[in-house]
Structures are given as structure tokens and as C-alpha cells.
Amino acid sequence: MVQQDGTALAQEDDSPIARELADLTARRKALEEADVQLTGHTRVLTVSNQKGGVGKTTTTVNLAAALAERGAKVLVIDLDPQGNASTALGVPHTADTPSVYDVLIDEFPLADIIQVSPESPNLLCAPSTIHLAGAEIELVSQVAREHRLRVAVDDYLASNGGEMDFILIDCPPSLGLLTINAFTAASELLIPIQCEYYALEGLSQLLGTVRMIQKHLNPRLVLSTIMLTMYDGRTRLAQQVADEVREHFPKEVLDTIIPRSVRVSEAPSFGQSVLAYDGQSAGAIAYREAAVEMIRRDSASNERGA
């Protein structure tokens, strides 16, 4: 198109794809410029939601990788017998591998089973094996069965004091003894909630269980973080669910929303986090933003408490 004075009228590409690319570029630049400071104390978070398929393991692995990328020393404890977190971190977890099962049942020191993920020297994993599937039954007859993981974590931190910034515990999608051990070992609860129908269903039951844990087993446990996952910006439903969760939990919900992403789904089959698999993708950027937000929130609360 040409104006009367003969100048060419600039035609800017305003397509959805162009807008998305411009947004991703701006977010990458903001992340590069972001300055975050670790507080130096260890945060132990259990990642749990009894509803399956909400992205618990995906959240645990990718958040851990993003925190490690920021210089944090992170340990992922894989409490799910399926061992998906161990797979995604590229850590061997065959039947004869020393695992969380040995810690819970045979009282192995946690340090004896921890492996370093090939992704980063800052990223450690206590793997799960198929033996963990029978641990629920075996724990029933054990002394202090609800506190086994807490004792192991406390002993590990006592002998590795100051080294670990985050411990993330990945739970199975149930409220059995394994999950109760995770609740008892942690001081914080991180709940991933998918931005889909039925997202809040079962959450009241989970929070009821948390209140029971607080009352009888672990009074220091708090719901500190809710992460919205599998967000599809093309649907009104996703926005409605996000708004509803924010209305109920205004302080706990992260501003960062994790989008539904093919790259995020593909990464575990290559034994990688999405940051290693495709670090420029929307999913990888979102998890990096979530990690920055969590560190900043922790620093802010630390300053208020000082």
C-alpha cells in the first residue's frame, strides 16, 4: 500500500504466531536480566495432588531443573513406584538399583542412594524402583511408619548442612502411606492444578488430609504454592478455572502459568527435562519463570521475617 506522498506504509505482521514469538522473545530477555538471590536455607516441598494426570511429576522435574539452572542445589525424591521422575532426570532405576524403597524399609541413609542427574551437577535424584509398589503394605507393620522419610531427610540435612537449597518430593496419585511420609517429611506443600474441568474436585479432600497431618503428624506443614498447569489460552474454561483458583487461594497461586505443551510431554521419553530437550520452548520458559518467582517469594518472605 502506498500513501499519496509516495511513502510505503509499513505493514506489521500482527498474526497470532508473530505475537506469540514476540512474547516469548520478551520473556526470554526478562529471564536473562532477572537477578535472584538464594536465601541459603533448605526448603523441603512435597508436590502432591491425589488427582492423576495434573502434572505432578512434570512439575517436579522441570521446576527442579529450572531451579538448578539458577544455581540452586536441588534434590528430587521420587516416591512414585512408576519412577517417572527418575526416568525424566536420566537416572537409572532398575530393580537392583538402591532406591527410596531401601531408605523407607531397610533404613538406608539417603546419601547412599542419591544419584547426580546427567543434566546438571546441581540436580540430584533419589530414585524409585518397582519395589516401592510393595512398600505401602510393608510399611504397615513398621515402627514409626509415617516418619520414615522425615528421619532420613533430617539425617541427610544434618550431615550435609547448608548444601541443599531445595528438596522436592514427587508423590504417587493417592493418599496412602507413601504420600503421608512425604507430607510428614516436608515443611511446604506444592499443589499443581490443571486448568481443566474438575480441577478443584478432590482438592478439598486433599486439604482435609493436610489438616489431619498438621494436627497429628507435622504441624509445620503449610500449603505454600499452587501452580496452574496445562493451561490452554484458546479456551474460556482454562481462564475461568485459573480465576476460580486465584479467588480461593490468592496468596498461594504463582503468577506464572504453565501452558499445555507438546515439548513438555515429549521431553521425558528422551530422559530429559523440557529445559534440556527444548530450552527455547514456551514450556521451558514458563518453568524458568516459575523458578524465579519461587526464589523471589522466598527471599521476600525471608526479608519480612528478618
Alpha carbons within 13 A on the beta-carbon side of 8: 3
Q: What is the mean pLDDT of the chain?
A: 86
The rounded percent of the chain whose pLDDT value lies above 90 is: 48
- pLDDT tens column, 33-72: 778 888 888 999 999 987 777 788 999 999 999 999 999 9
* pLDDT level of residue 6 (50, 70, 90 thresholds): very low
Compare 11 and 156 and report the one with higher pLDDT. Answer: 156
pLDDT of residue 227: 93
C-alpha 96/C-alpha 60 separation (Å) is: 24
Q: Which of 45-54, 68-77, 105-114, 274-283 has the lowest mean pLDDT?
A: 45-54
pLDDT of residue 46: 95
pLDDT of residue 152: 95
Compare 299 and 252 and report the one with higher pLDDT. Answer: 252
**β pairing state of 115-116 and 123-126:** antiparallel
pLDDT of residue 303: 64
- pLDDT tens column, 178-199: 999 999 999 999 999 888 877 7
pLDDT above 50 (res 2): no
C-alpha 83/C-alpha 67 separation (Å) is: 21
C-alpha 30/C-alpha 210 separation (Å) is: 36
Compare 160 and 149 and report the one with higher pLDDT. Answer: 149
Give me 185's grid cell: 517429611
What size, in residues, is the chain?
A: 306
